[in-house]
Amino acid sequence: MRSHPVRRLCVPLAAVLAALLLTGSGPLAEGRSRTTVPESLSADLDRLFEDQRLTGAQASALVTDTATGQVLYRRSPGALLLPASTLKTVTAAAALELLGPGHRFGTDVLAAGRHAGSTLEGDLVLRGGGDPSLLPADLDTLAHGVADSGITTVSGALLADASRYDGVPLGPNWAWDDQAAYYSPQISALTLATDTDYDPGTVRLTLTPGGQAGLPAAVRLTPQEAPVRLSGRIDTGSAGSERSVDVGRQPGTNDLVLTGSVPSDGGTSEEWVAVENPAEVSATVFAAALARHGVTVRGQVRAGRAPADAAVLAHHDSAPLSALLVPFLKLSNNGIAEHLVKEIGRVRAGSGNWSAGLDQITAFVHRNGLDVTPARQADGSGLSRHNLMTTQRLCQLLEFARSRPWFSTWYDALPVAGDPRRMVGGTLAGRLRGTAAQGRLHAKTGSMTGVDALAGYLDRPDGHRLVFTVLLNNFAGAGPRPVIDAFVLRLLGDRTRAAAGGHPGRAPHGWD
């Protein structure tokens, strides 16, 4: 980013003023607090954090008015806490700034050899460009392009080239027992999603109950050519019985073990599973697409790198980053987050790895005066428990984003409270529905065991837009999500519902 000279001069002063306001020191902070912040608001919000669900837990919160710069509420704004998926706001802002809203991921098919009539004497290469949204249909289109080039036979192998990124598949401190979970995929420059949720590095199982209780459920694999082996079975339970499906993956393999049952009257349901070696899986699916288009590959699918003189036969571009931001933030897509970190490293530093990407994100934060408190970012999604963030830093980022040309793209990609449309409401679709916050709250959710968080923008009926962040950590027992919802409602002036503990709504399924 090219910094404007005035911004370079103003950032240090802005950071000093922000620090004075947020820590509650200095005459300016004291004057604003006495004259514009209702004492009842602070008292009501303080009471919310005395909820028994937060006994022994850590809580941090910060609220500012974007029109006046006034701090309306603060509670330990400098506390370093796990942000969970609210960290995606940092990754998204950095990607928009460092890659640009128009950035696309490309996938190529290359000929590594010479043409002898309709035969390629050599290898065919499927080279990944880091696209987290590559679909089986896109591979089919690429295979069609190879056939259109006149090639019907490849004498060598089909190489899976994932060299754009490094070979480290999992982030630091990711849970070992989450390796089969769709939200913890292996990160590869050549990977495949199964649908427009764009969960990279996964396959999908569609489960259909048997005709009566006791029969096995039918299981369909997507993509069906993926080199995945299924064992075990899913039973059909009685009508109205509980759905209890588990799909495990043997470590280091693509052997999936199915257990559990589905109710006979439950209809079809789906499970997504993260695979081992996404590049090999992608190339195997591509080999099947080539066969459908009349292209025979005599060799095996194996890992390999395209030589410098390889000729491009077919190319596919992803949708622009501005469009991918929607499933990324609305659905809290971890895979997209990590691809963005490695892509930032590749584009800005020449190295497609977490270290290079995170260094670039750190530099972006520093250049723009957003490092107003200490913090630690270990990945792009918030999945790592090495991440530490403060409400002060996240609020500073939310305020900074409002000044950027990409703000409307960012704002529209955030989940919207109470909106039932999946790609609008996202992880907030079932929360705060039917309350004053419905449609007024655009915010990023974050949750994992012992963590619940929310960070974003709240439009009050008086026309004022608030920036806020709430981070709750280290709670046990019942989740404190209703406390966060009550916090939002109190900011909107709903004291009755806030005092009653908010509107719990429906929690999103899985990790976010």
Contact 22, 467 (CB under 8 A): no
- The pLDDT score that the predictor gives to residue 500 is 52
Asked, for residue 9, whether it belongs to a domain, the answer is yes
Each residue's pLDDT, cut to its tens digit, for the chain (512 residues) gives 333 333 333 333 344 334 444 444 332 233 333 335 677 999 999 999 999 999 999 999 999 999 999 999 999 999 999 999 999 999 999 999 999 999 999 999 999 999 999 999 999 999 999 999 999 999 999 999 999 999 999 999 999 999 999 999 999 999 999 999 999 999 999 999 999 999 999 999 999 999 999 999 999 999 999 999 999 999 999 999 999 999 999 999 999 999 999 999 999 999 999 999 999 999 999 999 999 999 999 999 999 999 999 999 999 999 999 999 999 999 999 999 999 999 999 999 999 999 999 999 999 999 999 999 999 999 999 999 999 999 999 999 999 999 999 999 999 999 999 999 999 999 999 999 999 999 999 999 999 999 999 999 999 999 999 999 999 999 998 999 999 999 999 999 976 665 555 443 333 334 68
pLDDT value for 497: 63
Question: Residue 96 sits in a domain of what CATH number?
Answer: 3.40.710.10
pLDDT value of residue 467 = 98
Which residue is listed with tokens 């754009």?
A: 164
- Strand pairing partners for 281? none
**Residues 368 and 470 reside in one and the same domain:** yes
Same domain, 143 and 286: yes
- CATH number at 126 reads 3.50.80.20
Both 296 and 254 in one domain: the answer is no
DSSP secondary structure, 478-511, as one string: S--HHHHHHHHHHHTT-HHHHHTT-----PPSS-
Among candidates 300, 462, 334, 397, which has minimal Cα distance to 97? 397
Active-site residues, by number, are 85, 88, 332
Domain of 308 in residue numbering reads as 106-167+278-318
pLDDT at 427: 98
Radius of gyration of the chain (CA): 25
What is the structure's pLDDT at 43?
95
In the block, tokens 């929690």 appear at 507
Measured between alpha carbons, how far is residue 290 from residues 134, 156, 472 in Å? 16, 14, 51
Determine if the pTM surpasses 0.85.
Answer: yes
Residues 58 and 130 in one domain: no
- Considering the domain boundaries, does residue 379 fall inside one? yes
Q: Is residue 359 part of a domain?
A: yes
Any domain includes 507: no
pLDDT reported for residue 8: 30
Please tell me whether residues 252 and 120 are part of one structural domain: no
Kindly state whether residues 448 and 351 are assigned to the same domain. Answer: yes
Residues 455 and 340 in one domain: yes
pLDDT on residue 9:
31
* 3-state per-residue secondary structure call for 223-290: CCCCCCEEEECCEEECCCCCCEEEEEECCCCCEEEEEEEEECCCCCEEEEEECCCHHHHHHHHHHHHH
Number of domains in the chain: 3
Instruction: Tell me the three state secondary structure of residue 331.
Output: coil
